[in-house]
Amino acid sequence: MKWQESVSAASPEEEAAEASLTGKVGGLRLLDREQAILAFNRRVLAQAVRADVPLLERLRYITIVSSNMDEFFEVRFADALEAMRDAQEAGAGDPQRDALRGVVHEAHALIDDVYREFNEAVMPALKRQGIVILNHAERDAGQRAWVADFFHRQVQPLLVPVGLDPAHPFPLVANKSLNFIVRLGGRDAFGRSKAGGGHIAIVKVPRALPRLIKLPDALVPAGTQAFVLLSSVIRAHLEELFGGRPVEAFSQFRVTRDSDLEVDEGDVSNLRQALRRGLTTRHYGDAIRLEVVATCPEALWRFLLEQFRLPEAALYRVNGPVNLVRMVQMIDQVEAPALRFAPQDPAWPERRLPRGRSILRHLREHGDVLLHHPFESFDPVVAFLREAVEDPDVLAIKQTIYRTGEKSELMDLLIEAARRGKEVTAVVELKARFDEEANINWAERLEAVGVQVVYGIVGFKTHAKLMLVTRRETSRRGAVQLRRYAHLSTGNYNPKTARLYTDIGMLTADEALTADADAVFHQLTCLTRVRTPRLLLTAPFVLHRRLIGLMEQVAEAARDGRPARIVVKVNALTDPAMIHALVRAARAGAEVDLIVRGACLLPPGLVGLTERVRVRSIVGRYLEHTRVLYFRWGEHDDDEALYLSSADWMGRNMFRRIELAWPVRDARLRQRVIDECLVPYLHDARDAWCQQSDGRYLPVAADGPGAQQALAARYMTRPLR
The CATH number for 452's domain is: 3.30.870.10
> pLDDT of 325-336, one tens digit each?
999 999 999 999
In a domain, 160, yes or no: no
In a domain, 678, yes or no: yes
Rounded CA-CA distance 372/677 in Å is 9
Task: Give the residue from 170, 171, 194 showing the smallest Cα distance to 184.
Answer: 194
> pLDDT of 515-547, one tens digit each?
999 999 999 988 777 777 899 999 999 999 999
Query: Which string of b and e fits 8-20 if b means at least 16 CB within 10 Å?
Result: bebeeebeebbee
9-18, 207-216, 353-362, 505-514: segment of lowest average pLDDT = 9-18
Task: Give the residue from 23, 74, 63 showing the smallest Cα distance to 41.
Answer: 63
Q: Is residue 400 domain-shared with residue 486, that is, in the same domain?
A: yes
Q: Is residue 526 domain-shared with residue 542, that is, in the same domain?
A: no
Split at pLDDT 50, 70, 90, the class of 479 is confident
Q: How many CA atoms lie within 13 A of 100 on its CB side?
A: 25
Task: Give the residue from 516, 614, 520 showing the smallest Cα distance to 569.
Answer: 614
Question: Residue 685 has what pLDDT?
Answer: 93
**Residue finishing a domain among 535, 560, 583:** 535
In a domain, 293, yes or no: no
In a domain, 113, yes or no: no
**Residue finishing a domain among 535, 551, 573:** 535
Percent of the chain residues topping a pLDDT of 90: 73
Q: Is residue 500 domain-shared with residue 618, that is, in the same domain?
A: no
**Which residue segment(s) compose the domain that 377 sits in?**
359-535
Query: Which string of b and e fits 158-181 if b means at least 16 CB within 10 Å?
Result: ebeeebbeeeeeeeebbbbbbbbb
Q: Is residue 382 domain-shared with residue 521, that is, in the same domain?
A: yes
Split at pLDDT 50, 70, 90, the class of 86 is low
Q: Is residue 477 domain-shared with residue 376, that is, in the same domain?
A: yes
Q: Is residue 572 domain-shared with residue 472, that is, in the same domain?
A: no
Task: Give the residue from 502, 484, 490, 469 showing the smallest Cα distance to 402.
Answer: 490
Q: Is residue 507 domain-shared with residue 590, that is, in the same domain?
A: no
Peptide linkage before 392 cis (omega within 30 of 0): no
- How large is the average pLDDT for residues 275-279? 54
Question: Residue 486 has what pLDDT?
Answer: 98
Percent of the chain residues topping a pLDDT of 70: 87
In a domain, 71, yes or no: no
Q: How many residues does the chain have?
A: 721
Rounded CA-CA distance 684/486 in Å is 33
Is 68 known as a binding-site position? yes
In a domain, 556, yes or no: yes
Rounded CA-CA distance 253/183 in Å is 14
Task: Give the residue from 652, 678, 694 showing the smallest Cα distance to 594.
Answer: 678
Contact 684, 706 (CB under 8 A): yes
- How large is the average pLDDT for residues 121-146? 97
Is 714 known as a binding-site position? no
Contact 163, 185 (CB under 8 A): no
Question: Residue 88 has what pLDDT?
Answer: 54
Is 625 known as a binding-site position? yes
Domain count, the chain: 2
Split at pLDDT 50, 70, 90, the class of 20 is very low
Task: Give the residue from 609, 624, 513 showing the smallest Cα distance to 568.
Answer: 624
Residue 257's beta-bridge partner residues? Answer: 287
> pLDDT of 62-84, one tens digit each?
999 999 999 999 887 766 666 55
Is 471 known as a binding-site position? no
In a domain, 376, yes or no: yes
Question: Residue 441 has what pLDDT?
Answer: 82
Question: Computed over its alpha carbons, how large is the radius of gyration of the chain?
Answer: 28
Q: Measured in Å, how far apart are the chain's first and last C-alpha atoms?
A: 51
20-29, 198-207, 265-274, 644-653: segment of lowest average pLDDT = 265-274
Determine phi and psi for 629, rounding to 5 degrees. Answer: -125, 115
Contact 13, 5 (CB under 8 A): no
Neighbours of 580 (CB within 10 A): 21
Query: Which string of b and e fits 212-237 if b means at least 16 CB within 10 Å?
Result: bbbbeeebbeeeebbbbbbbbbbbbb
Q: Provide DSSP, 197-249.
A: S--EEEEEPPTTS-SEEEPPGGGS-TT-EEEEEHHHHHHHTGGGGGTT--EEE
> pLDDT of 682-707, one tens digit each?
999 999 999 999 999 999 976 778 99
Q: Provide DSSP, 456-469.
A: -BTTBEE---EEEE
Query: How far is C-alpha 305 from the geometric centre of its chain's CA atoms?
Result: 29
Residue 182's beta-bridge partner residues? Answer: 201, 250
Q: Is residue 649 domain-shared with residue 526, that is, in the same domain?
A: no
Rounded CA-CA distance 373/297 in Å is 50
Q: Cite the active site residues.
A: 463
Rounded CA-CA distance 217/225 in Å is 7
- How large is the average pLDDT for residues 588-607? 97
Rounded CA-CA distance 536/520 in Å is 9
Residue 347's beta-bridge partner residues? Answer: 376
Cα dihedral 600/536/655/625 (nearest 10): 30
Task: Give the residue from 672, 498, 691, 490 showing the smallest Cα distance to 595.
Answer: 691
Contact 557, 461 (CB under 8 A): no
Query: Which helix (H) or strand (E) element contains residue 682?
Result: helix 679-682
Is 43 known as a binding-site position? no
| pLDDT > 70? residue 288 | yes
Q: Is residue 412 domain-shared with residue 485, that is, in the same domain?
A: yes
Mean pLDDT of the chain, nearest integer? 88
Task: Give the residue from 28, 101, 61 showing the smallest Cα distance to 600.
Answer: 28
Task: Give the residue from 547, 712, 623 showing the smallest Cα distance to 8.
Answer: 547
Contact 175, 259 (CB under 8 A): yes
Q: Is residue 601 domain-shared with residue 589, that is, in the same domain?
A: yes
Sign for the CA dihedral angle at 438, 597, 675, 556 comes to negative
Task: Give the residue from 558, 592, 557, 596 showing the smallest Cα distance to 575.
Answer: 596
Contact 289, 314 (CB under 8 A): yes
Split at pLDDT 50, 70, 90, the class of 121 is very high
**Residue finishing a domain among 508, 535, 562:** 535
Rounded CA-CA distance 70/532 in Å is 42
576, with CB counted inside 10 A (0-12, 13-18, 19+), is: buried
In a domain, 580, yes or no: yes
3-class secondary structure, 21: coil
Q: Which residues contact 38 (CB under 8 A, 6 or more apart)?
A: 72, 103, 106, 107, 110
Q: Which is higher by pLDDT, 610 or 22? A: 610
Question: Residue 39 has what pLDDT?
Answer: 97
Q: Is residue 636 domain-shared with residue 708, that is, in the same domain?
A: yes
Q: Helix axis angle, 379-390 relative to 409-419, nearest 10°?
A: 10
Q: What angle do CA 438, 407, 209 make, to 5 degrees?
A: 75
Q: Is residue 566 domain-shared with residue 658, that is, in the same domain?
A: yes
Is 366 known as a binding-site position? no
Q: Which is higher by pLDDT, 609 or 4? A: 609
Task: Give the residue from 315, 310, 282, 286 showing the smallest Cα distance to 298.
Answer: 315
Split at pLDDT 50, 70, 90, the class of 637 is confident
